[in-house]
Amino acid sequence: MDANRQPIGISVLGGPTTVVDVGGWRFVIDPTFDEAGEQDYLTKTTGPAISPSALGPVDAVLISHDEHLDNLDAEGRRFALKAPRILTNPGAAERLGPSARGLAPWESIDLAAEDDRSAVTVQAVPLCMAPPMAIAMTAVM
């Protein structure tokens, strides 16, 4: 895994963090980049497989939910907020601020490229978490 995009590729970096390359687009899902150690009520036993800077430019960060440090830790949040777009669930979008777009369950967004890449559609698929968690979002591209 490096900054070079693949025509199609999925790289699991550890925990929930996954990089998806498709059609020239690069998406990072649920970024967690904190080093190993105590994190509030969790103990992270292993640091990130690679640093966020090694990923090169990304087109979007997809965040299923932001309430748990094991899905969006401090470094992951900083990384996401620097991305050109964040797609997440509506509650997380409110908490993350104006750079985040909240998608309701089954809502889709078409992402158009400013270059020769084809457009891609991202759809929010509901993910039910244990009560009292809100509905989280996962994506289908």
Alpha carbon 114 to chain centroid, angstroms: 21
How far apart are alpha carbons 122 and 141 in whole angstroms? 5
* Total tally of structural domains belonging to the chain: 1
Residue 17 falls within a domain, yes or no? yes
The model's pLDDT over 52-90, given as tens digits with 9 standing for 90+, comes to: 999 999 999 999 988 887 789 999 999 999 999 999 999
Q: What pLDDT does residue 15 have? A: 84
Q: Are 29 and 20 in contact (CB under 8 A)?
A: yes
Does 114 score more than 80 pLDDT?
A: yes
Is residue 15 situated within a structural domain? Answer: yes
Domain range for 24 is: 8-104
Any domain includes 119: no
Query: Is residue 125 a part of any domain in this protein?
Result: no
The reported pLDDT for the residue numbered 133 is 44
Structural domain includes residue 72? yes
60 within domain boundaries = yes
| Confidence category of residue 125, pLDDT binned at 50, 70, 90 | confident
Q: How far is CA 1 from CA 25, 70, 114, in A?
A: 15, 21, 25
Domain assignment present for 42 = yes
114 or 92, which is more confident?
92
Q: Given a cut of 80, is residue 140 above it in pLDDT?
A: no
Residue 13 lies in a domain: yes
- CATH code of the domain in which 46 resides: 3.60.15.10
Residue 141 has pLDDT above 80, yes or no: no
Token pair 């909240």 is found at: 102
